[in-house]
Structure 1
Amino acid sequence: MTATQIDHTDYRILQLLIEDSTLSHKDIGALVHLTGQAVGARIRRMRELEIIEGYTIHWNPLRIGQNIHAFITVFLSTKSDHLPFQEFAKAHDNVAEVHRISGEGCYWMRVRTVNQEALNALLDELLVYGNYRVNLDMGQIK
């Protein structure tokens, strides 16, 4: 896939969706001088090309009681621990992201829990696969 697969209008539609994914096709069309139907066709094409992979929202985890935000570097004990660890991380509700990394550690996880006890329980479960290092979020800058 190359950048030439989309034109300036597609790029503008993409930028508008990035800014506010709740915009209707009609509203986007008014901004880019197309009909809502034409905008919908362009969005479907960008989805087919996997330029648009999905939609997301911004939310406040504190409002639903997820008060602890931690970044965990995981150090697996053995090579055979990778698949079981990946399955554990994908299935665990408190794990927001998992990345396989190079450098220090094997994986990086971002987790949210309701309290310190829930974080400790998650960390105890991690010990089955190896060791870890925890950094707590002290406030988001960007």
Structure 2
Amino acid sequence: MDKKNKVDQVDEQIIHILRHQGRITLQELGEKVHLTGQAVKNRIEKLEDKGIIQQYTVNVNCPVYGFPLHALIRLEAGIPQKIPLTVFLAKCGCPVLHCYQITGRQVYMLDMLFRSMEDQKRILLKLQKYGICTVDMVLQSLELPET
């Protein structure tokens, strides 16, 4: 990390708390890191300006939301297709939580949700046009202890 993006211990604490308690008020966050709400707000804005904090998200209880199947799909892409993979994924009708290009030649890791096995099979058949798919089903999400 270069000097302009360097963060101190208080910034680290703020980031950690926000990752686990995104709806915390600035006042409550300030109390946890021993600063005023305004001082915390200023630090968060600096972290945003530096690009360290990029977005705020919502974690959804996927089975309750209607997507009981969660899969990690490794796609080893072959010949580039007429329709780019990202365009296909944006229009496929199933939520794509993450799409990473990973090490290897044209290898992608897709983190996707499905309403049913039929939906999953339909998407996998279409993905096979892009390359070879390996599917792992997520059994459960494990909570990490506070450090």
Same fold (TM over 0.5): yes
Matched length? 141
Shift of 1:20: 0.8
What residue is the counterpart of 2:74 in the other structure? 73
Residues 76 and 82 of structure 1 are in contact (CA less than 8 Å); yes or no, is this contact kept in structure 2? no
In the alignment, what sits opposite 2:46?
45
Offset from partner CA, 1:111-133 (integer Å, 9 cap, x none): 11110111111112213323322
Code of the aligned partner of 1:87: V
- Higher mean C-alpha displacement, 52-61 vs 99-108: 99-108
Q: Which has the higher helix share?
A: 1
User: Percent sequence identity over matched residues?
Assistant: 26
Q: How does 1:1-142 map to 2 (within 5 A)?
A: 1-2=1-2, 5-78=6-79, 80-81=80-81, 84-92=84-92, 93-103=94-104, 106-141=107-142
Q: After TM superposition, what 4+ stretches of structure 1 lie above 4 angstroms from structure 2?
A: none
Helix, strand or coil at the partner of 1:121: helix
TM-score by length of 1: 0.81
Give the gaps of 5 or more residues in structure 2. none
1:99: Cα distance to partner?
A: 1.5
C-alpha offsets along residues 41-77 of structure 1, whole Å, 9 cap, x if unaligned? 1110011111212223333111122111122221322
CA contact (8 A) 2:78 2:106 kept: no
CA RMSD of aligned residues (A): 2.5
TM-score by length of 2: 0.79
Cα 1:109–1:82, aligned 2, differ >3 Å: closer, same or farther? farther
